[in-house]
Structure 1
Amino acid sequence: MRLSFTTISIFLSLIRAPGVVSQTGLAPKQFLNLPLGEVKPAGWLHDQLMVQTNGLAGHEHDFYDYVAETDWTGGSSYYSNLEEAGSYWFNGMVPNGVLANDATIQSQTQYFLDYVLDHQDSTGWLGPEVNTTKPRYLWGRYPFFFGAIQMVEANSSLAGRVVPALHTFVKLANTMLHNNGEGLEDWTNTRWEDFVMTLQWCLYDFYPDGNEELLLDTMQLLKSYGDPWEEVFKEEYFPKTAVENLTNPFPFLTWHGVNMAEGLKALPATYRFTHNQSDLDAASLGWDLLFQYHGRPSGIFAADEYLAGLEAARGTELCLVVETMFSGSYLYQVIGDPKFADRVERVAYNALPATLTGDMWSRQYLQQQNQIAAKNMNPDPFPTDGSYSNVFGLEPNYPCCTVNHPQGYPKFISNAFVTSPDKTSLVHVYLGPFSTQTTLADGNQVTVTVDTLYPFSDTLTTTIEAAGAFTYRVRIPSWVANGTISVNGAQAEAVSPSNGLHSVSVAAGTTTIVLNLPAEITLEPRPHGSVAVHRGPLHYAFDIARTQKVLAQNAQEARAVDLEFDATVPWQYALDTSSLRFQYSPPASGVLPSPVYDSGLPPMSISATACQIDWSVAGDTFASPPPTSPECTGPTTNITLWPFGATKLRIGEFPTVNLTA
Structure 2
Amino acid sequence: MKRRKIFGLLVLSAFFVGLIPADASHPPGTRADTNVYIAPVYKALPLGAIKPQGWLKHQLEIMRDGTTGHLDEVYNKVKNDNGWLGGKGDGWEETPYWLDGAVPLAYLLDDKKLQEKVLRYISWTLQHQRPSGYFGPLTKSEREKNIPVGVSNAADGEDWWPKMVMLKVLQQYYTATNDTRVLSFMTRYFNYQLQTLKSCPLGKWTEWATSRGSENIMMAQWLYSITRDEKLLELASLLESQSFAWSTWLGNRSWVIDAAARQNDQHWMRRHGVNVGMGLKAPALNYQRTGNKKYLQELRTGFADLMNLHGLPMGVFSGDEDLHGNAPTQGTELCAIVESMFSLEEIIGITGDPAYMDALERMTFNALPTQTTDDYNNKQYFQVANQVNIKRGVFNFSLPFDREMNNVLGMRSGYTCCLANMHQGWTKFASHLWYSTAGNGLAALAYSPNEVSAKVGKNNTTVTIKEVTGYPFEEQVGFNLGMQQPVAFPLQLRIPAWCAEAVVVLNGQKLRTAKGGQLITIDRTWNNHDQLTLQLPMQVTTSNWGRNSRTVERGPIVYALKLTERWEKGHDEAEGDYFSVYPKDDWNYGLPEKIIQAPAQHLQVTQVKPATADFVWNLEHAPVTITTTGKKIPEWKLVDDVAPQPVTDRNGIYKGKVNEQEEVITLVPYGCTKVRIVAFPVVK
1:121 to 107, 130, 147: 130
Residues 1:440 and 1:555: Cα distance change in structure 2 (over 3 Å): farther
Q: Distance in 2 between matches of 1:352 and 1:71?
A: 29
Counterpart residue number, 1:36: 47
Return closer, same or farther for 1:575/1:41 CA change in 2, 3 Å cut-off: same
- In the superposition, the TM-score normalised over structure 1's length comes to 0.90
Aligned partner of residue 473 in structure 2, secondary structure: coil
3-state SS of paired residue (1:95): helix
1:396-416 deviation per Cα after TM superposition (whole angstroms, max 9, x unaligned): 211111111110111111111
Q: Is the CA contact (8 Å cut-off) linking 2:481 and 2:531 kept in structure 1?
A: yes
Between the aligned partners of 1:554 and 1:359, the Cα distance in structure 2 is: 23
1:85 aligns with 2:94: yes
How many Å apart are 1:595 and its aligned residue? 4.0
Determine if the alignment matches structure 1 residue 537 to structure 2 residue 556.
yes
Unaligned segments of structure 2, at least 5 residues: 1-16, 143-155, 649-653
- The answer on whether the counterparts of 1:240 and 1:309 sit within 8 Å (CA) in structure 2 is no
What SS does the corresponding residue of 1:173 show, helix, strand or coil? Answer: helix
1:95 aligned onto 2:104:
yes
Q: Which residue identity does 2:505 align to in structure 1?
A: S
Say yes or no: does 1:162 pair with 2:182: yes
Amino acid paired to 2:670: F
Is structure 2 residue 652 aligned with structure 1 residue 598?
A: no
| CA distance in 1: counterparts of 2:307 and 2:22, whole angstroms | 26
In 1: Cα distance, 2:200 partner to 2:111 partner: 44
Say whether the 8 Å CA contact 1:291–1:301 is kept in structure 2. yes
Residues 196 and 222 in structure 1, CA contact (< 8 A), matched pair in contact too: yes
1:287-337: CA deviation from partner (whole Å, max 9, x where unpaired): 111111111111111111111110011101100111111111111111111
Partner of 2:69: 58
Is 1:297–2:313 an aligned residue pair? Answer: yes
1:650 matched to 2:672? The reply is no
- Match of residue 262, structure 2, among 220, 245, 248: 245
Q: Decide whether aligned partners of structure 1 residues 496 and 502 sit closer, same or farther in structure 2, where only a CA change above 3 A counts.
A: farther
> Which of 491-500 and 108-117 deviates more?
491-500
Task: Report the CA distance between 1:180 and its aligned residue.
Answer: 5.8
Following superposition, the deviation at residue 257 of structure 1 comes to 0.6
1:492–1:236 CA distance, 2 compared to 1 (3 A): closer
CA deviations 1:559-595 (Å, max 9, x no partner) are x9411112222111111225642323353xx563734
Distance between the aligned counterparts of 2:261 and 2:637, measured in 1? 22
Kindly provide the CA deviation profile for residues 530-579 of structure 1, in whole angstroms up to 9, marking residues without a partner as x. 211101010000132222111139999xxx94111122221111112256
Q: Summarize the Cα distance change of 1:171–1:652 in structure 2 as closer, same or farther, 3 Å threshold.
A: same
Question: What is the rounded CA distance, in whole Å, between the counterparts of 1:445 and 1:141 in structure 2?
Answer: 36
Q: 1:231–1:237: 8 Å Cα contact kept in structure 2?
A: no
List gaps (5 residues or longer) in structure 1: none
Query: In the TM superposition, what whole-angstrom CA distance separates every residue of 1:323-361 from its partner, at most 9, and x where no partner exists?
Result: 111111111111111010001011111100011122222
TM-score norm. by structure 2 comes to 0.87
Of 416, 425, 442, the match for 1:399:
416
Match of 1:234 among 247, 251, 264: 251
**Counterpart amino acid of residue 437 in structure 2:** S
Alignment length, in residue pairs?
636
**Structure-to-structure mapping, 1:170-189, within 5 angstroms:** 170-179=190-199, 181=201, 184=204, 185-189=206-210
Q: What are the Cα deviations for residues 76-100 of structure 1, in whole angstroms up to 9, with x where unaligned?
A: 54xx22x210111111111011112
Q: Read off the aligned partner of 1:173 and give its amino acid letter.
A: Q
Please give the alpha-carbon distance, in whole angstroms, between the structure 1 residues aligned to 2:518 and 2:583: 44
Distance 1:358 1:624 in 2: 28
* Deviation of 1:238 (Å): 3.3
Does the CA contact (< 8 Å) of 2:475 and 2:536 recur in 1?
yes
Aligned to 1:284: 300
SS at match of 2:482: strand
Equivalent in the alignment of 1:385: 400
Quote how far apart the aligned CAs of 1:483 are: 2.3
Aligned partner of 1:581 among 598, 603, 616 = 603
The one of 450, 453, 468 aligned to 1:451: 468
Would the aligned equivalents of 1:244 and 1:383 in 2 still touch at CA under 8 Å?
A: no
Provide the C-alpha distance between the structure 2 equivalents of 1:610 and 1:568, rounded to a whole number of angstroms: 17
Secondary structure of the 1:238 match is helix
* Counterpart residue number, 2:146: none
Please say if residues 91 and 147 of structure 1, whose CA atoms lie closer than 8 Å, have aligned partners that are also in contact: yes
Structure 1 position 513 matched with structure 2 position 515: no
Q: 1:196 aligns with which of 177, 201, 217?
A: 217
Go from structure 1 to structure 2 and tell me whether the alpha carbon gap of 1:613 and 1:591 turns closer, same or farther (over 3 Å shift): closer
Structure 2 counterpart of 1:374, from 380, 390, 400: 390
- Are residue 633 (structure 1) and residue 667 (structure 2) matched? no
Whether 1:27 and 2:38 are equivalent positions in the alignment is yes
Structure 2 CA distance, aligned partners of 1:272 and 1:142?
19
CA distance in 1, matches of 2:540, 2:583: 27
> Structure 1 residues 99 and 553, CA, compared in 2 at 3 Å: closer, same or farther?
farther
Post-superposition shift, 1:18? 9.1
Distance (whole Å) between structure 2 residues aligned to residue 170 and residue 401 of structure 1: 28
How far apart, CA to CA, are the structure 1 residues paired with 2:585 and 2:518?
Answer: 45
SS in 1 for 2:448: coil
CA distance in 2, matches of 1:167, 1:489: 51
Change (3 A) 1:413 1:75: same
| Cα distance in 1, alignment partners of residues 551 and 621 from structure 2 | 21
Structure 1 partner of 2:9:
none
Which of 433, 445, 448 is the aligned partner of 1:432? Answer: 448
How far does residue 619 in structure 1 lie from its aligned partner after superposition?
Answer: 4.4
Give a deviation string over 1:155-200, Cα, whole Å, max 9, x none.
01x22x2222211111111111132626644111111111111112
Structure 1: distance between partners of 2:99 and 2:68: 11
Deviates more, 1:620-629 or 1:105-114: 620-629
**Identity percentage of aligned residues:** 27
Distance 1:599 1:346 in 2: 19
The Cα of 1:33 is off from its aligned counterpart by 1.0
From the superposition, tell whether residues 496 and 548 of structure 1 become closer, same or farther in structure 2 (CA, over 3 Å): closer
Q: Does the 8 Å CA contact 2:498/2:517 hold for their aligned counterparts?
A: no
- Tell whether the 8 Å contact from 1:593 to 1:601 is kept in structure 2 after alignment: no
What is the match of residue 148 of structure 1? 170
Question: Aligned Cα RMSD in Å?
Answer: 2.7
Does residue 642 of structure 2 align to residue 622 of structure 1?
A: yes
SS in 2 for 1:465: strand
Q: Do the aligned residues in 1 keep the contact of 2:502 with 2:516 (CA within 8 Å)? A: no
Q: Which moved more, 1:509-518 or 1:191-200?
A: 509-518
Does the C-alpha gap of structure 1 residues 138 and 12 become closer, same or farther in structure 2, counting only changes over 3 Å? closer
Per-residue CA deviation, residues 213-267 of structure 1 (Å, 9 max, x unaligned), is 3212111110111111222113441324764626899x54222111111001111
Alignment partners' CA distance in 2, 1:107 and 1:623: 48
Check 1:454–1:348 CA distance in 2 against 1; reply closer, same or farther (3 A cut): same
SS at match of 1:270: helix
Other structure's SS at 1:269 match: helix
Secondary structure at 1:633 match in 2: coil
Matched, 1:46 2:57: yes
